[in-house]
A and B are shown apart, each in its own frame.
Chain A
Amino acid sequence: MATYAFVLLAVLAVASALAMVLNKNTVNSALFLVLNLMSVAGLYLLLHAQFLAIIQILVYAGAIMVLFLFVIMLLNVDEEESLFDKFRAIYLVAFLLGVVVFGQIVYSLGGVTDLLPEISADMAYVGTVEAVGEVLYTTYLMPFEMTAILLTAAVVGALMIAQYKVKTSDQEE
Protein backbone atom coordinates (compact mmCIF):
# COMPACT_ATOMS: atom_id res chain seq x y z
CA MET A 1 0.00 0.00 0.00
CA ALA A 2 2.74 2.40 0.99
CA THR A 3 4.60 1.59 -2.21
CA TYR A 4 1.58 2.42 -4.36
CA ALA A 5 1.09 5.68 -2.48
CA PHE A 6 4.77 6.49 -2.89
CA VAL A 7 4.69 5.86 -6.63
CA LEU A 8 1.53 7.93 -7.01
CA LEU A 9 2.93 10.85 -5.01
CA ALA A 10 6.36 10.69 -6.65
CA VAL A 11 4.89 10.73 -10.14
CA LEU A 12 2.59 13.58 -9.13
CA ALA A 13 5.51 15.55 -7.66
CA VAL A 14 7.72 15.14 -10.73
CA ALA A 15 4.88 15.85 -13.16
CA SER A 16 3.75 18.98 -11.32
CA ALA A 17 7.34 20.22 -11.06
CA LEU A 18 7.77 19.78 -14.82
CA ALA A 19 4.43 21.48 -15.48
CA MET A 20 5.49 24.37 -13.23
CA VAL A 21 8.71 24.95 -15.16
CA LEU A 22 7.21 24.50 -18.63
CA ASN A 23 4.05 26.55 -18.12
CA LYS A 24 3.87 29.89 -19.88
CA ASN A 25 1.41 31.46 -17.47
CA THR A 26 3.11 32.50 -14.22
CA VAL A 27 -0.05 32.11 -12.13
CA ASN A 28 -0.54 28.56 -13.45
CA SER A 29 3.09 27.84 -12.61
CA ALA A 30 2.49 29.00 -9.04
CA LEU A 31 -0.57 26.73 -8.76
CA PHE A 32 1.42 23.76 -10.06
CA LEU A 33 3.97 24.55 -7.38
CA VAL A 34 1.15 24.18 -4.82
CA LEU A 35 0.42 20.71 -6.22
CA ASN A 36 4.12 19.85 -6.05
CA LEU A 37 4.38 20.97 -2.41
CA MET A 38 1.27 18.96 -1.53
CA SER A 39 2.68 15.77 -3.04
CA VAL A 40 5.99 16.32 -1.23
CA ALA A 41 3.92 16.68 1.97
CA GLY A 42 2.41 13.29 1.14
CA LEU A 43 5.92 11.85 0.83
CA TYR A 44 6.73 13.24 4.29
CA LEU A 45 3.66 11.45 5.59
CA LEU A 46 4.89 8.17 4.16
CA LEU A 47 8.07 8.71 6.20
CA HIS A 48 5.86 9.17 9.31
CA ALA A 49 6.78 12.83 9.67
CA GLN A 50 3.25 14.04 10.37
CA PHE A 51 4.05 17.42 11.86
CA LEU A 52 6.39 18.26 9.00
CA ALA A 53 3.76 17.24 6.45
CA ILE A 54 1.12 19.49 8.01
CA ILE A 55 3.61 22.37 8.23
CA GLN A 56 4.52 21.81 4.59
CA ILE A 57 0.88 22.17 3.56
CA LEU A 58 -0.06 25.03 5.88
CA VAL A 59 3.06 27.18 5.57
CA TYR A 60 4.45 26.38 2.14
CA ALA A 61 1.34 25.51 0.14
CA GLY A 62 -0.68 28.07 2.11
CA ALA A 63 1.11 31.15 3.30
CA ILE A 64 4.23 31.20 1.14
CA MET A 65 2.23 30.55 -2.01
CA VAL A 66 0.02 33.50 -1.08
CA LEU A 67 3.14 35.65 -1.03
CA PHE A 68 4.31 34.16 -4.35
CA LEU A 69 0.97 34.99 -5.97
CA PHE A 70 1.11 38.48 -4.51
CA VAL A 71 4.55 39.05 -6.02
CA ILE A 72 3.25 37.84 -9.40
CA MET A 73 0.28 40.20 -9.12
CA LEU A 74 2.44 43.08 -7.89
CA LEU A 75 5.04 42.78 -10.61
CA ASN A 76 2.30 42.45 -13.22
CA VAL A 77 4.20 40.01 -15.42
CA ASP A 78 2.17 39.82 -18.59
CA GLU A 79 4.96 38.84 -20.94
CA GLU A 80 4.16 35.17 -21.19
CA GLU A 81 7.41 33.90 -22.55
CA SER A 82 8.03 30.21 -22.97
CA LEU A 83 11.32 28.72 -21.89
CA PHE A 84 11.88 27.35 -25.37
CA ASP A 85 10.91 30.39 -27.43
CA LYS A 86 14.49 31.20 -28.22
CA PHE A 87 17.68 29.34 -27.63
CA ARG A 88 20.31 30.86 -25.39
CA ALA A 89 23.74 29.51 -24.49
CA ILE A 90 22.96 29.91 -20.79
CA TYR A 91 20.08 27.44 -21.16
CA LEU A 92 22.49 24.84 -22.51
CA VAL A 93 24.89 25.40 -19.59
CA ALA A 94 22.00 25.15 -17.12
CA PHE A 95 20.76 21.98 -18.78
CA LEU A 96 24.21 20.36 -18.65
CA LEU A 97 24.63 21.32 -14.97
CA GLY A 98 21.20 19.85 -14.24
CA VAL A 99 22.17 16.61 -15.99
CA VAL A 100 25.35 16.47 -13.88
CA VAL A 101 23.40 16.94 -10.62
CA PHE A 102 20.82 14.36 -11.69
CA GLY A 103 23.60 11.92 -12.56
CA GLN A 104 25.16 12.43 -9.15
CA ILE A 105 21.84 11.72 -7.44
CA VAL A 106 21.29 8.57 -9.49
CA TYR A 107 24.87 7.45 -8.81
CA SER A 108 24.58 7.97 -5.06
CA LEU A 109 21.23 6.16 -4.98
CA GLY A 110 22.68 3.26 -6.97
CA GLY A 111 23.86 1.40 -3.87
CA VAL A 112 20.57 1.75 -2.00
CA THR A 113 18.52 -1.42 -2.23
CA ASP A 114 15.46 -0.72 -0.06
CA LEU A 115 14.17 2.70 -1.04
CA LEU A 116 11.12 2.42 1.23
CA PRO A 117 12.43 0.92 4.50
CA GLU A 118 10.14 -0.43 7.17
CA ILE A 119 9.66 2.24 9.82
CA SER A 120 9.96 0.94 13.37
CA ALA A 121 7.67 2.08 16.19
CA ASP A 122 10.42 4.24 17.73
CA MET A 123 11.08 6.00 14.46
CA ALA A 124 7.37 6.51 13.87
CA TYR A 125 7.07 8.34 17.18
CA VAL A 126 9.75 10.91 16.30
CA GLY A 127 7.60 12.67 13.73
CA THR A 128 4.50 13.16 15.89
CA VAL A 129 3.46 16.55 17.24
CA GLU A 130 4.09 15.43 20.84
CA ALA A 131 7.63 14.30 20.08
CA VAL A 132 8.41 17.59 18.34
CA GLY A 133 6.97 19.55 21.26
CA GLU A 134 8.86 17.59 23.90
CA VAL A 135 12.24 18.62 22.52
CA LEU A 136 11.30 21.97 20.96
CA TYR A 137 10.49 23.72 24.26
CA THR A 138 13.26 22.08 26.33
CA THR A 139 16.34 20.93 24.46
CA TYR A 140 15.97 23.30 21.51
CA LEU A 141 14.58 26.26 23.46
CA MET A 142 17.25 28.65 22.23
CA PRO A 143 16.69 28.03 18.48
CA PHE A 144 12.95 28.24 19.17
CA GLU A 145 13.25 31.72 20.67
CA MET A 146 15.62 32.71 17.88
CA THR A 147 12.82 31.86 15.47
CA ALA A 148 10.71 34.60 17.07
CA ILE A 149 13.55 37.11 16.63
CA LEU A 150 13.95 36.00 13.02
CA LEU A 151 10.23 36.47 12.36
CA THR A 152 10.30 39.92 13.96
CA ALA A 153 13.29 40.88 11.84
CA ALA A 154 11.42 39.64 8.75
CA VAL A 155 8.42 41.82 9.62
CA VAL A 156 10.53 44.94 10.15
CA GLY A 157 12.58 44.33 7.00
CA ALA A 158 9.53 43.76 4.82
CA LEU A 159 7.88 46.89 6.23
CA MET A 160 10.98 48.90 5.36
CA ILE A 161 10.86 47.68 1.76
CA ALA A 162 7.12 48.30 1.46
CA GLN A 163 7.54 51.77 2.96
CA TYR A 164 10.11 52.65 0.31
CA LYS A 165 7.68 51.57 -2.38
CA VAL A 166 4.94 53.80 -0.93
CA LYS A 167 7.29 56.78 -0.90
CA THR A 168 8.30 56.42 -4.55
CA SER A 169 4.73 55.95 -5.76
CA ASP A 170 3.75 59.07 -3.82
CA GLN A 171 6.48 61.09 -5.49
CA GLU A 172 5.49 59.95 -8.94
CA GLU A 173 2.01 61.39 -8.61
Chain B
Amino acid sequence: MIADFGNILLFLIHGALFVALSLFVAKLIRPHRPNAEKLMTYECGEVPIGSARVQFNNRFYIIGLMFLIFEVEILLLFPWVMVFQDIGWFAFWAMFVFVFLIFIGFAYELGKGHLQWDIPRPVVPKYVEGVGVVDDYPAKEPASSEPALDEPALQTGVNR
Protein backbone atom coordinates (compact mmCIF):
# COMPACT_ATOMS: atom_id res chain seq x y z
CA MET B 1 0.00 0.00 0.00
CA ILE B 2 2.58 2.50 1.14
CA ALA B 3 5.00 1.10 -1.42
CA ASP B 4 2.70 2.42 -4.15
CA PHE B 5 3.91 5.87 -3.22
CA GLY B 6 7.32 4.74 -4.43
CA ASN B 7 5.95 5.15 -7.96
CA ILE B 8 5.28 8.79 -7.16
CA LEU B 9 8.85 9.14 -5.90
CA LEU B 10 10.11 7.59 -9.14
CA PHE B 11 8.03 10.07 -11.13
CA LEU B 12 9.43 12.97 -9.07
CA ILE B 13 13.01 11.79 -9.59
CA HIS B 14 12.43 11.27 -13.31
CA GLY B 15 10.82 14.69 -13.61
CA ALA B 16 13.77 16.41 -11.96
CA LEU B 17 16.29 14.40 -14.01
CA PHE B 18 14.44 15.08 -17.25
CA VAL B 19 14.49 18.84 -16.72
CA ALA B 20 18.15 18.86 -15.65
CA LEU B 21 19.25 16.62 -18.54
CA SER B 22 17.40 18.52 -21.25
CA LEU B 23 18.70 21.85 -19.97
CA PHE B 24 22.23 20.41 -19.91
CA VAL B 25 21.98 19.03 -23.45
CA ALA B 26 20.54 22.32 -24.66
CA LYS B 27 23.47 24.16 -23.06
CA LEU B 28 25.91 21.87 -24.89
CA ILE B 29 24.54 22.27 -28.39
CA ARG B 30 23.11 25.79 -28.51
CA PRO B 31 25.16 28.75 -29.73
CA HIS B 32 25.80 31.41 -27.09
CA ARG B 33 25.63 34.89 -28.64
CA PRO B 34 23.61 37.14 -26.33
CA ASN B 35 22.74 40.72 -27.17
CA ALA B 36 20.63 43.33 -25.45
CA GLU B 37 17.56 42.53 -27.54
CA LYS B 38 17.74 38.83 -26.75
CA LEU B 39 18.28 39.33 -23.03
CA MET B 40 15.24 41.59 -22.73
CA THR B 41 12.17 40.19 -20.97
CA TYR B 42 9.85 38.69 -23.55
CA GLU B 43 6.39 40.19 -23.37
CA CYS B 44 4.47 39.18 -26.50
CA GLY B 45 6.59 41.42 -28.69
CA GLU B 46 5.82 44.55 -26.69
CA VAL B 47 8.56 46.59 -25.07
CA PRO B 48 8.22 45.72 -21.38
CA ILE B 49 7.36 48.63 -19.11
CA GLY B 50 7.97 48.85 -15.38
CA SER B 51 8.36 46.11 -12.82
CA ALA B 52 6.77 42.70 -13.16
CA ARG B 53 5.74 42.88 -9.52
CA VAL B 54 2.56 44.89 -9.77
CA GLN B 55 0.09 45.16 -6.94
CA PHE B 56 -2.74 42.70 -7.33
CA ASN B 57 -6.37 43.57 -6.90
CA ASN B 58 -7.33 42.33 -3.47
CA ARG B 59 -10.47 40.77 -4.94
CA PHE B 60 -8.23 37.92 -6.05
CA TYR B 61 -7.55 37.28 -2.38
CA ILE B 62 -11.24 36.57 -1.82
CA ILE B 63 -11.19 34.08 -4.68
CA GLY B 64 -8.07 32.45 -3.22
CA LEU B 65 -9.68 32.22 0.18
CA MET B 66 -12.81 30.65 -1.29
CA PHE B 67 -10.55 28.10 -3.00
CA LEU B 68 -8.94 27.28 0.34
CA ILE B 69 -12.27 26.83 2.14
CA PHE B 70 -13.76 24.59 -0.50
CA GLU B 71 -10.57 22.60 -0.89
CA VAL B 72 -10.65 21.77 2.82
CA GLU B 73 -14.30 20.79 2.40
CA ILE B 74 -13.49 18.46 -0.51
CA LEU B 75 -10.57 16.92 1.37
CA LEU B 76 -12.92 16.07 4.21
CA LEU B 77 -15.27 14.49 1.66
CA PHE B 78 -12.63 11.92 0.63
CA PRO B 79 -12.66 9.85 3.84
CA TRP B 80 -16.45 10.21 3.89
CA VAL B 81 -16.67 8.50 0.49
CA MET B 82 -14.44 5.66 1.67
CA VAL B 83 -16.49 4.83 4.76
CA PHE B 84 -19.98 5.82 3.57
CA GLN B 85 -21.17 2.22 3.16
CA ASP B 86 -19.99 1.21 6.62
CA ILE B 87 -21.60 4.06 8.51
CA GLY B 88 -24.65 4.66 6.33
CA TRP B 89 -27.25 7.36 6.88
CA PHE B 90 -25.53 8.72 9.96
CA ALA B 91 -22.55 9.68 7.81
CA PHE B 92 -24.91 11.18 5.25
CA TRP B 93 -26.51 13.53 7.78
CA ALA B 94 -23.17 14.35 9.37
CA MET B 95 -21.85 15.49 5.99
CA PHE B 96 -25.13 17.24 5.18
CA VAL B 97 -24.79 19.43 8.27
CA PHE B 98 -21.12 20.07 7.45
CA VAL B 99 -21.79 21.14 3.87
CA PHE B 100 -24.78 23.22 4.97
CA LEU B 101 -22.65 25.11 7.51
CA ILE B 102 -20.02 25.85 4.88
CA PHE B 103 -22.64 27.02 2.44
CA ILE B 104 -23.85 29.58 4.96
CA GLY B 105 -20.51 31.32 4.52
CA PHE B 106 -20.72 30.96 0.76
CA ALA B 107 -24.26 32.36 0.69
CA TYR B 108 -23.12 35.29 2.82
CA GLU B 109 -20.35 36.05 0.36
CA LEU B 110 -22.64 35.71 -2.63
CA GLY B 111 -25.35 37.82 -1.02
CA LYS B 112 -22.96 40.61 -0.10
CA GLY B 113 -21.82 40.80 -3.71
CA HIS B 114 -18.18 39.94 -3.08
CA LEU B 115 -18.00 37.74 -6.14
CA GLN B 116 -19.19 40.57 -8.40
CA TRP B 117 -16.40 41.89 -10.51
CA ASP B 118 -15.67 45.50 -11.40
CA ILE B 119 -15.87 45.89 -15.14
CA PRO B 120 -13.34 48.53 -16.17
CA ARG B 121 -14.84 51.44 -18.09
CA PRO B 122 -13.57 51.54 -21.64
CA VAL B 123 -11.39 54.45 -22.70
CA VAL B 124 -12.94 55.78 -25.87
CA PRO B 125 -10.65 57.86 -28.09
CA LYS B 126 -12.45 61.04 -29.24
CA TYR B 127 -11.68 63.54 -32.01
CA VAL B 128 -11.68 67.16 -30.82
CA GLU B 129 -11.57 70.03 -33.34
CA GLY B 130 -8.16 71.68 -33.36
CA VAL B 131 -6.69 69.29 -30.78
CA GLY B 132 -6.81 65.91 -32.45
CA VAL B 133 -7.60 62.52 -31.00
CA VAL B 134 -7.69 62.54 -27.21
CA ASP B 135 -8.22 59.71 -24.81
CA ASP B 136 -11.52 60.63 -23.29
CA TYR B 137 -11.91 59.12 -19.88
CA PRO B 138 -15.59 58.91 -19.02
CA ALA B 139 -16.30 61.35 -16.24
CA LYS B 140 -17.00 59.84 -12.86
CA GLU B 141 -20.61 60.13 -11.86
CA PRO B 142 -21.10 62.58 -9.02
CA ALA B 143 -21.40 60.76 -5.73
CA SER B 144 -24.42 62.81 -4.68
CA SER B 145 -26.58 61.58 -7.56
CA GLU B 146 -27.46 58.44 -5.64
CA PRO B 147 -27.36 57.67 -1.95
CA ALA B 148 -24.14 56.02 -0.85
CA LEU B 149 -24.63 52.31 -0.35
CA ASP B 150 -23.70 50.77 2.95
CA GLU B 151 -21.84 47.93 1.30
CA PRO B 152 -18.84 49.22 -0.61
CA ALA B 153 -18.59 45.96 -2.50
CA LEU B 154 -21.95 46.73 -4.06
CA GLN B 155 -20.70 50.03 -5.43
CA THR B 156 -19.30 48.40 -8.52
CA GLY B 157 -19.66 49.41 -12.10
CA VAL B 158 -21.99 46.47 -12.58
CA ASN B 159 -24.53 47.65 -10.09
CA ARG B 160 -24.43 51.29 -10.94
Contacts and interface: CB of A to CB of B under 8 A. Distances in A.
Contacts of B53: 27, 73, 76, 78
Contacts of A153: 105
A73 B5 contact: no
Interface range for B: 35 or more
A128 B4 CA distance: 13
Nearest to B65: A158
B108 interface: yes
A42 B5 CA distance: 9
A125 to B, nearest CB: 9
Interface residues of A, number: 52
B99 to A, nearest CB: 8
Contact of A74 (B56, B67, B101): B56
A99 interface: no
A51 B2 CA distance: 11
B64 A144 contact: no
A158 B65 CA distance: 8
A124 B58 contact: no
B76 to A, nearest CB: 7
A162 B61 contact: yes
Given A45-B2, A163-B151, A154 B69 contact: yes
A147 interface: yes
A167 interface: yes
B8 to A, nearest CB: 9
Interface stretch (B18-26, B29-37, B86-94, B126-134): B86-94
